[in-house]
Amino acid sequence: MQSNVIKLNREETPLINSLRTICQKKIYSFHALPISSFGHSDILPSRKIEDDCLEATITDEAFDNFFFPKGVIKESQVLTAKLYNADHSFYITGGTSVANQIAITALYDDKYNILIDKNCHQSVHFHSQSLRANVDYLCPDLVAEDGQLKAWSIDKLTRKALTKQLEGAGYDLIILSAQSYEGLIYDIPSVLLKLLQAGVSTRKFFIDEAWGSLNYFGEDTKTYTAMNIDNIVEAYPDLEVMCTHSAHKSLFCLRQASLIHCKGKDLLSHKIEVAKFRVHTTSPNYPILASLDLAQNCMRKYGNEVASYSRALVNMFKEAVNSEPELSLLHTEFEVFRGHQHIAYDPTKVMVNVRSLGDASEIKKELLKDNIFIKRTLNNHLLLNFHIGVNKEAVNALINGLKTIGNSNLKNCISNKFIIPYPPGVPIVFPGDEINSNITRKIRQCEENGLLIISA
Ligand X SMILES: Cc1ncc(COP(=O)(O)O)c(C=O)c1O
CA angle 234, 237, 241 (to 5 degrees): 95
Task: Give the residue, chosen from 210, 260, 357, 360, that forms a contact with ligand X under the rule CB under 6 A.
Answer: 210
Q: Which residues touch 35 (CB under 8 Å, ≥6 apart)?
A: 49, 53, 55, 57
For ligand X, which is the closer residue by CB, 249 or 364?
249
Q: Examine residue 96 and tell whether it contacts ligand X (CB under 6 A).
A: yes
Coil/strand/helix, residue 179: strand
Q: Examine residue 128 and tell whether it contacts ligand X (CB under 6 A).
A: no
Task: Give the residue, chosen from 258, 285, 297, 380, that forms a contact with ligand X under the rule CB under 6 A.
Answer: 258
For ligand X, which is the closer residue by CB, 259 or 357?
259
**Least distance to ligand X from the beta carbon of 210, Å?**
3
Looking at residue 240, the DSSP 8-state letter turns out to be E
Q: Which DSSP string corresponds to 343-372?
A: EEE-TTEEEEE-TTTS-HHHHHHHHHHTT-
For ligand X, which is the closer residue by CB, 250 or 377?
250
* Alpha carbons 315 and 322: distance in angstroms, whole number: 10
Task: Give the residue, chosen from 20, 74, 121, 156, that forms a contact with ligand X under the rule CB under 6 A.
Answer: 121
- Please answer whether residues 128 and 116 qualify as being in contact, where contact means their C-beta atoms are separated by less than 8 angstroms: yes
* Alpha carbons 399 and 320: distance in angstroms, whole number: 7
For ligand X, which is the closer residue by CB, 95 or 347?
95
* Alpha carbons 267 and 11: distance in angstroms, whole number: 27
**Least distance to ligand X from the beta carbon of 349, Å?**
13
Q: Which sign does the torsion angle of CA 60, 66, 69, 73 carry?
A: positive
Task: Give the residue, chosen from 177, 291, 297, 356, that forms a contact with ligand X under the rule CB under 6 A.
Answer: 177
Task: Give the residue, chosen from 97, 101, 310, 440, that forms a contact with ligand X under the rule CB under 6 A.
Answer: 97
**Least distance to ligand X from the beta carbon of 376, Å?**
12
**Least distance to ligand X from the beta carbon of 342, Å?**
18
Residues forming beta bridges with residue 452, ordered by sequence position: 422
For ligand X, which is the closer residue by CB, 157 or 207?
207
The 6-45 contact track toward ligand X, x by CB under 6 A, reads: ----------------------------------------
* Alpha carbons 230 and 264: distance in angstroms, whole number: 9
Q: Examine residue 208 and tell whether it contacts ligand X (CB under 6 A).
A: yes
Q: Which DSSP string corresponds to 100-139?
A: HHHHHHHH--TT-EEEEETTS-HHHHHHHHHTT-EEEEE-
Nearest to 81 by CA among 299, 233, 237: 299
For ligand X, which is the closer residue by CB, 23 or 102?
102
Task: Give the residue, chosen from 93, 113, 213, 246, that forms a contact with ligand X under the rule CB under 6 A.
Answer: 246
**Least distance to ligand X from the beta carbon of 383, Å?**
14
Where does this chain touch ligand X (CB under 6 A) — which range of 91-99, 199-207, 262-270, 358-366?
Answer: 91-99
Buried b (16+ CB within 10 A) or exposed e, 361-388: eebbebbeeeebebeebbebbbbbbbbb
CA angle 107, 229, 179 (to 5 degrees): 75
For ligand X, which is the closer residue by CB, 177 or 385?
177
**Least distance to ligand X from the beta carbon of 188, Å?**
14
For ligand X, which is the closer residue by CB, 178 or 395?
178
Q: Examine residue 185 and tell whether it contacts ligand X (CB under 6 A).
A: no
Backbone angles phi, psi at 73, to 5 degrees: -65, -45
How many residues make contact with ligand X (CB under 6 A)?
11
Nearest to 214 by CA among 346, 325, 55, 324: 346
Coil/strand/helix, residue 211: coil
**Least distance to ligand X from the beta carbon of 184, Å?**
12
Where does this chain touch ligand X (CB under 6 A) — which range of 34-42, 45-53, 96-104, 438-446?
Answer: 96-104
Nearest to 380 by CA among 364, 369, 395, 368: 364
Where does this chain touch ligand X (CB under 6 A) — which range of 94-102, 192-200, 275-283, 317-325?
Answer: 94-102
- Cα dihedral 263/266/269/274 (nearest 10): -140
For ligand X, which is the closer residue by CB, 170 or 183?
183
For ligand X, which is the closer residue by CB, 198 or 254?
254
Where does this chain touch ligand X (CB under 6 A) — which range of 74-82, 90-98, 329-337, 384-392?
Answer: 90-98
For ligand X, which is the closer residue by CB, 346 or 447?
346
**Least distance to ligand X from the beta carbon of 160, Å?**
21
Q: Examine residue 182 and tell whether it contacts ligand X (CB under 6 A).
A: no
Task: Give the residue, chosen from 69, 95, 212, 303, that forms a contact with ligand X under the rule CB under 6 A.
Answer: 95
In the complex, which residues of this chain contact ligand X (CB under 6 A)? 95-97, 100, 121, 123, 177, 208, 210, 246, 258
